[in-house]
Amino acid sequence: MNKFLLEVKNIAKSYSIYSTLFQIEVAKKSVLRNISFSLDYNTSLGILGPSGCGKTTLVKIISKIEQPDSGEVLFEGKNINSYSKEEFATKIQMLFQNPYSMLNPKLSIEFLLKERIKQSFVLSNQEVNNKVLDSKINELLEIAMLPKNILNMYPHQLSGGQRQRVAILMVLSLYPKLVILDEPLSALDISLQAQMLNFFSELKEQFKVSYLFITHDKNLAEYFCDKILNIHEDGKYELR
Amino acid sequence: MCIKSCRAKLQLYIEVKSEKDYNFMGHDLVLNIENLEVSFEVKDIPYFVLRSVNLELYTKQKIAIVGESGSGKTTLANSILLFNDKKITTYFGNINFYPIKKCDELTHQVIPIIFTEEIEKEDRTEFDIHTLDEKFMSHVRGFHISMIFQDPFTALNPVLRVGEQVGEVIKIHNQKLNKKEIYDKVIELFTLVHLPEPEVMYKKYPHQLSGGQIQRVCVATAIANRPEILIADEPTTALDASLKESILSLLSEMTEKFDTSLILITHDISIIKNYVDYIYILYAGEVLESGPTKQIFYNPLHPYTQFLFSCYVDKTKKGQKLPSLPYEIPDLSDQDFIFEKCIFLNRCQKKIKRCEEEKPEVYSVKGQKVKCFLYEK
């Protein structure tokens, strides 16, 4: 087993700014400047920083949505680009700020969860039948403390907290080792925020998941995370 | 012993300080909501969304209405401006508004030049907002009472320049102003709300601005006619956390500058501490506790308010499990429950048998008003 779960080495990224007319490149905006850090197994790292400092760009690079200009990302000692798409899906998953963006409004919760579970079985070359699917769904609902009647509902019929829980169940059904949480609590009520934080902590113990937790809230990061990566507007950063 | 005596001292300090600080009785009343009940009828089933809500707002006062999703915060704000769907809404109780700025009740036209003249104190009349017709209400909206909506991105027309949209609000209530005067007023407003390069901003379309800039344009629109009351419905929810403080301080600055009263609606009690004078805690359509901000923060009385504060996290709570209550807003069509029992019964951890048998009244405890049997004298 490798010492670190995730290693980010000298990542740099800049975006081109184009003129409105003729789309000519007029400038380059440097977002990330040689960022390096590592993440141990079963730990959570908070990423703090103002808007536009490159938090989302960093996690997009880690989750292979974007490629860096320079530097590399290692997951369990291997470069993330060496993993196949299917293999990578079981390694890193991302939970977005708005759970609506993960839930197809035309599909019922049961269908959405079943599809994900089927996918996880296919990825691990296991056979799946309806009985296994049902027991798996029941198990997941128990973890998230969700009632069974939500299976027949559609995303718009759920409360904000329920939607966020269904979204995280979809993420967990693939049993990833690292979950990236992009401002998962900012749209929730304070009582739901407390519930979700308890839920994330339980999952960390139960499934040995590691978290990359993007937030603006310093108090929240200090409560939930073992380490904090603070990115400043000028591209400098500190890890504590 | 030491902690106890410190706590007692702190308590005494809070009481004395809050009595000195909280002196809005000297100001004039601008809005007085008495026993407001709002119900929506959906598929022949009445939902009692707001029940016996009492609220007082004085000039220059800043109040906050705090509650979880579905507690009726936005319905309350919409009721003040009659924004609720008329076909399904029934109102009981009064929303009394005491206008300070002059206007002609019959012609709905503003008589003096706005921004300057006020009605003499003894000449002020009271309007029950629910008795006003739509024509008069359209005059009240934007001129006497303005509202800032939750999502700034949908509040502006995407095909009009932002400057024109603010100018339109000024033009509607000031027909005599010419184009140049309106342009100058918009530029003045943009400068006031700290928008960079106001002349450039005037010509921009909403999609060309950032979230914080759009919300500043919305604030400029709301204060354009210097209303007596400004309602901000979750003005920071759709924005980044780093922008929240700046928008709240802008609202606070604007209300102080123009002597406007502010009603701030939010679900996040932590961010309002330094910006409001008085807090109403709303739960499932009922005000469970109200009081001056400092008292609510240092001495929350109702179990629900105490629960809200206990949910906040910081590094001192690291490793501890946070308190959690089942997320259940009661069924607002269940009349036996909502009119006969304490509304917080299902989630309360301090409930007594009496809570299931009757509804608590509002008890006054050292300046705070609380709806809980625990504080019955």
For residue A153, being part of any structural domain is answered with yes
Cross-chain Cβ contact A190/B312 below 8 Å: yes
Confidence at residue B26, expressed as pLDDT on a 0 to 100 scale = 67
List CB contacts (< 8 A) between A217 and chain B: 241
Return the pLDDT at B7.
38
The residues near B196 (Cβ < 8 Å, ≥ 6 apart) are: none
Whole-number pLDDT of residue B302: 93
Assigned domain for A113 exists? yes
3-class secondary structure per residue, A110-172:
HHHHHHHHHHHHHHCCCCCCHHHHHHHHHHHHHHCCCCHHHHHCCHHHCCHHHHHHHHHHHHH
Q: Is the residue at A6 inside a domain?
A: no
Tens digits of residue pLDDT in B128-158: 777 777 777 888 888 889 999 877 888 899 9
Ranges under pLDDT 70 in chain B: 1-26, 101-126, 238, 240-242, 326-328
Residue B308 forms contact with A (CB below 8 Å): yes
* Rounded CA separation A189/A186 (Å): 8
Closest alpha carbon to B219 in B247, B256, B177? B247
Chain A closest-CA separation from residue B240 CA (Å): 7
Q: Is B208 on the interface with A (CB under 8 A)?
A: no
Q: Do B327 and A217 count as a contact with CB atoms less than 8 A apart?
A: no
CATH number of the domain at A169, please: 3.40.50.300
- The per-residue pLDDT for A211 is 92
B269 at interface of A, judged by CB pairs closer than 8 A? yes
On whether residue A10 sits in a domain, the answer given is: no
Q: How are beta strands A44-48 and A210-215 bridged, if at all?
A: parallel
CA distance B190 to chain A (A): 23
List the single best residue of A189, A196, A205 to mutate versus B (max B Cβ within 10 A): A189
Tens of pLDDT along chain A (240 residues)?
Answer: 677 889 999 999 888 888 767 778 788 888 888 889 999 888 999 998 877 788 888 888 998 888 999 999 999 888 999 988 888 888 898 888 777 778 899 999 999 999 888 888 887 778 888 888 888 888 888 777 788 888 888 988 887 778 888 888 888 888 888 999 888 877 677 777 888 888 888 888 888 889 999 887 888 888 889 999 988 877 788 888
In 3D, which of B42, B39, B36, B48 has the Cα closest to residue B336?
B48
**Residue A13 within a domain:** no
**Which residue of chain A is at minimal alpha-carbon distance from B238?**
A187
Q: What is the pLDDT of residue B5?
A: 45
Query: A85 to chain B nearest CA, in Å?
Result: 32
Range of the domain at A230: 41-68+83-239
Mutate to test the interface with B, among A43, A190, A204, A220 (most CBs of B within 10 A): A190
| Confidence at residue B326, expressed as pLDDT on a 0 to 100 scale | 67
Chain A residues with CB-CB distance to B327 below 8 A: 159, 161, 191-192, 195
Q: Is B68 on the interface with A (CB under 8 A)?
A: yes
Interface confidence, given as ipTM, is 0.72
CA distance A75 to chain B (A): 27
The reported pLDDT for the residue numbered B151 is 78
pLDDT at B77: 92
B135 touching A (Cβ < 8 Å): no
Tell me which of A201, A223, A226 to substitute to probe the interface with B (most B C-beta atoms closer than 10 Å): A223
Q: Dump pLDDT digits (tens) for B284-305.
A: 899 999 999 999 999 999 999 9
Span B43-73, pLDDT tens digits: 888 889 999 999 999 988 999 999 887 788 8
How is domain B20-295 classified at the architecture level of CATH? 3-Layer(aba) Sandwich (3.40)
How many domains does chain A divide into? 1
Q: What is the pLDDT of residues B114-127, one digit of tens each?
A: 333 455 555 666 67
Residue A217 lies in a domain: yes
Predicted pLDDT at B119: 58
> Quick one: DSSP state of residue B118?
B
How many residues are given for chain A? Answer: 240
Picking from A190, A201, A222, the nearest residue to B267 by CB comes out as A190
CB contact under 8 A, B237 and A160: no
Residue from B66, B69, B151, B236 whose CB has the most chain A CBs within 10 Å, to mutate: B69
In degrees, rounded to 5, the angle at the alpha carbon of residue B58 between the alpha carbons of residues B56 and B63 is: 70
Domain spans, chain B = 20-295, 305-375
Please report which helix (H) or strand (E) contains residue A30, including its range.
strand A25-39
* Cβ distance of B243 and A51 shorter than 8 Å: yes
